[in-house]
């Protein structure tokens, strides 16, 4: 069954879920709005949408050490109340996300945090690749949108596939947990440390400077 904009808008008005979530639910339900609503509720999306405007200022700062001290992650996970922050489920979520960050090594929280120079650098690399492949100039910018989407899914933690369930992103995991816990749940910030990271580069840079002075 073809899913049209009117069907999506009506489901969104009923559930408060996002347009894309509504469309996906309708596709899964073969156009049955009632069944689509049930799908959204099952996934926690409908309940999460209703809490989108809530303030999530409670939570915890969680630390995770991996590989006998080789990698460390520090993150801030927020919820609405101190009660939920103390639950085993919330702590388990913090642990899972920290473990994901340790393994996936994201550079940013979201695409809004990607530095403009990094974004332009990636675009220029992809643009040159497409030109070398002989793609028409008028198509290159459209193709770039898809390539940048994949880039964001590699470097932004919220858009990365969750290592324990790659069918959902970290952002979708948070949405699901918001529905399950009944409170808005957000990842605010994180830092990842890796033993020795950057040292080799600094040493090589210093060696290059010395070589240049001796030349």
What digits encode the pLDDT tens for the residues 53-109? 677 789 999 999 998 899 999 999 999 999 999 999 999 999 999 999 999 999 999
Residue-wise pLDDT tens digits, 177-212: 888 888 889 999 999 999 988 776 555 565 565 556
- Count of the separate structural domains present in the chain: 3
Find residue 194's DSSP bridge partners: 71
- The pLDDT value given to residue 48: 60
- The pLDDT value given to residue 9: 82
Angle 205-72-162 from CA coordinates, rounded to 5°: 105
- The pLDDT value given to residue 161: 95
Residues 88, 104 within the same domain: yes
Whether residue 104 lies inside any domain: the answer is yes
Whether residue 212 lies inside any domain: the answer is no
The CA distance from 12 to 103, in Å, is 35
Residues 161, 82 within the same domain: yes
Mean pLDDT of 115-127: 84
> Is 175's pLDDT higher than 70?
yes
Residue-wise pLDDT tens digits, 35-55: 888 887 776 665 566 566 677
Residues 192, 130 within the same domain: no
Residues 178, 78 within the same domain: yes
> Is 163's pLDDT higher than 90?
yes
Q: Which residues of 117-144 are buried (b: 16+ CB within 10 A; e: fewer)?
A: eeeeebeeebbeebeeeeeeeeebeebb
Radius of gyration of the chain (CA): 22
Whether residue 74 lies inside any domain: the answer is yes
- The pLDDT value given to residue 105: 96
Residues 9, 69 within the same domain: no
Rounded (10°) angle between helices 19-28 and 5-15 = 110
The CA distance from 94 to 60, in Å, is 8
Across the chain, what does the average pLDDT equal?
Answer: 84
The domain in which residue 146 lies consists of 115-153
Residues 96, 176 within the same domain: yes
Mean pLDDT of 125-135: 83
Q: Are 103 and 162 in contact (CB under 8 A)?
A: no
Q: What is the dihedral of CA 192, 193, 199, 202, to 10 degrees?
A: 30
Angle 79-83-88 from CA coordinates, rounded to 5°: 85
């Amino acid at each position: 069954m073809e899913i049209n904009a009117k069907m999506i808008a009506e489901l969104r008005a009923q559930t408060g879920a996002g347009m894309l979530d509504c469309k996906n639910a309708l596709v899964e339900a073969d156009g049955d709005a009632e069944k689509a609503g049930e799908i959204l509720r099952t996934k926690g999306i409908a309940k999460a949408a209703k809490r989108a405007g809530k303030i999530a200022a409670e939570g915890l700062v969680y630390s995770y050490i991996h590989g006998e001290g080789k990698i460390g992650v520090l993150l801030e996970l927020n919820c609405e109340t101190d009660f939920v922050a103390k639950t085993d489920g919330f702590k388990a979520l913090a642990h899972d996300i920290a473990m994901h960050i340790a393994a996936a090594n994201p550079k940013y929280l979201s695409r809004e945090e990607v530095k403009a120079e990094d974004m332009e650098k990636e675009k220029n690399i992809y643009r040159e690749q497409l030109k070398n492949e002989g793609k028409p100039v008028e198509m290159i910018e459209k193709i770039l949108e898809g390539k940048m989407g994949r880039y964001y899914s590699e470097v932004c933690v919220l858009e990365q596939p969750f290592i324990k369930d790659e069918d959902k992103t970290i952002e979708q995991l948070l949405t699901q947990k918001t529905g399950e816990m009944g409170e808005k749940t957000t990842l605010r910030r994180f830092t990842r440390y890796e033993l020795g990271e950057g040292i080799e580069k600094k040493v090589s840079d210093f060696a290059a400077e010395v070589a240049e002075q001796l030349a």
